[in-house]
Amino acid sequence: MIPIAKPQISNEEIRAVTDVLKSGMLAQGKIVEKLEQEFASYIGVKYAIATNSGTSALHTALAAVGITKGDEIITTDFSFVASATCALMQNAKPVFCDIDPTTYNISTEDIEKKISKKTKAILPVHLYGQSCDMDTITEIARDHDLWVVEDACQAHGAEYRGKKVGAIGDVGVFSFYPTKNMTTGEGGIVTTNDEKIAERAKMFRSHGQSKQYVHEFLGFNYRMTNIAAAIGLAQLGHLDERNKRRQENATFLVEKLHNVAGIICPSVNPNGVHVFHQFTIRIEDEFPLSRDGLCNHLKEKGVGFGIHYPTPIHKQPLFKKLGYTDDHVDCPIAAEMSKRVLSLPVHPQLTADDLRFIVQTIHNVVREEQWMSA
């Protein structure tokens, strides 16, 4: 079986974790601080605040910029649910935008339409490892005095006009879940150049604590452990080379699949650097099989796949219960893409044989259809 994702853990990570375990300093400490410093330097910001998940990092970021009850947060309808539920965690309301049909990132035209007097922030998601149109988003935010909170949970090392994502808006957020381009086992991090935001984020992740046993406001235990940070430090040192491998794998897949009728390969914005957290194709009607049919074929042949994402966020049961309906949320492109997208393996541990087999498996569908109809 060729997996859709495969965390790359070496003896370096194992030794780093062992060293922490032997030290006895397992909770948040100097190893976490080192990861924060090195990740901030890598992204190109002054501050980084580590947390225990990407979701907690999103929550922390919104709390740090002051999002509160009654506020509205504009985000995409086409992402993992945490991109929206982080607003609910602050008693705020997510307002959903449609997507660009080429990049699947948030539609900047739709952002303008969704702004109201209650809007306090735009939360763009750099989906699949490619930056959103940040020039337009930051311009809209300036015009309307809004925060920009970048959800870069899938975009470690991605760039926009020579600047790393997570360093463009007011705040950036990354996830270190095992399937991401780098991992800490489970974890996240908040990035910013704003000292006040950084300080509030540090307090929020530790029960609103300004100093030991002095709690200024409601916070949570979102701290990262030294164990997780030790893994992250080793991973960060290999991030660029592993991203390069993802890009090379993506280039091969595009080269071999772009001429297959009914398959739309990912596009790369010339203004950015795509790090291919996912390699997501789109299945059009010209392809011999439906999306589900191709999924079944890949499964039979031992090729892993993913559907990112099968349901627009506003259609999730949670949001239906909150009163979100198609009458109130107009995101037809997201709805259509959810029926057509399919992610193929692109991770760094794929071999040349793996890549050829993935391509051959898809081409064989077309050949079999041509043979059957001959």
pLDDT-derived band at 56, boundaries 50, 70, 90: very high
- Answer yes or no: do 271 and 226 share one domain: no
| Residue 362 placed within a domain | yes
What local confidence, expressed as pLDDT, does residue 369 receive? 63
Q: pLDDT-based confidence at 142, cuts 50/70/90?
A: very high
Residue 62 DSSP SS3: helix
Task: Return the pLDDT at 372.
Answer: 52
> 2 lies in a domain?
no
Same domain, yes or no: 224 and 255: no
Question: Could you tell me if residue 1 is inside a domain?
Answer: no
The Cα-based distances of 318 to 124, 313, 327 in angstroms read 21, 9, 17
68 and 197 both lie in a single domain = yes
* Whether the predicted pLDDT of 208 surpasses 90: yes
Indicate whether 113 and 52 sit together in one domain: yes
Structural domain contains residue 155: yes
Omega before 309 cis (within 30°)?
yes
Is 354 within a domain? yes
The per-residue pLDDT for 326 is: 85
The number of C-alpha atoms within 13 Å of 289 and in the hemisphere containing its C-beta is: 18
Cα 31 to chain centroid, rounded:
24
What does DSSP say about strands 119-123 and 147-151: parallel, antiparallel, or unpaired?
parallel
Domain of 209?
11-98+105-236
Angle, CA of 126, 6 and 29, to the nearest 5°: 75
- What mean pLDDT, rounded, does the chain reach? 96
Q: What is the pLDDT of residues 112-128, one digit of tens each?
A: 999 999 999 999 999 99
Q: What is the mean pLDDT of residues 14-33?
A: 97
CB 236 within 8 A of CB 178: no
Does any domain span residue 5? no
> Considering its fold, how many domains does the chain have in total?
2
CATH number at residue 220: 3.40.640.10
* Domain match, 20 and 163 both: yes
The answer to whether residues 144 and 209 belong to one domain is yes
Its pTM stands at 0.97
Please check whether residues 61 and 163 belong to one and the same domain: yes
Are residue 110 and residue 207 in the same domain, yes or no?
A: yes
pLDDT recorded at residue 366 = 86
What is the rounded CA–CA span in Å between residue 234 and residue 14? Answer: 9
- Alpha carbon 217 to its chain centroid, in Å, reads 29
Residues 88 and 119 in one domain: yes
- Let me know: does 169 contact 190? Beta carbons within 8 Å: no
In a domain, 70, yes or no: yes
pLDDT digits (tens, 9 = 90+) for 335-349: 999 999 999 999 999
Helix (H), strand (E) at residue 272 = strand 272-273
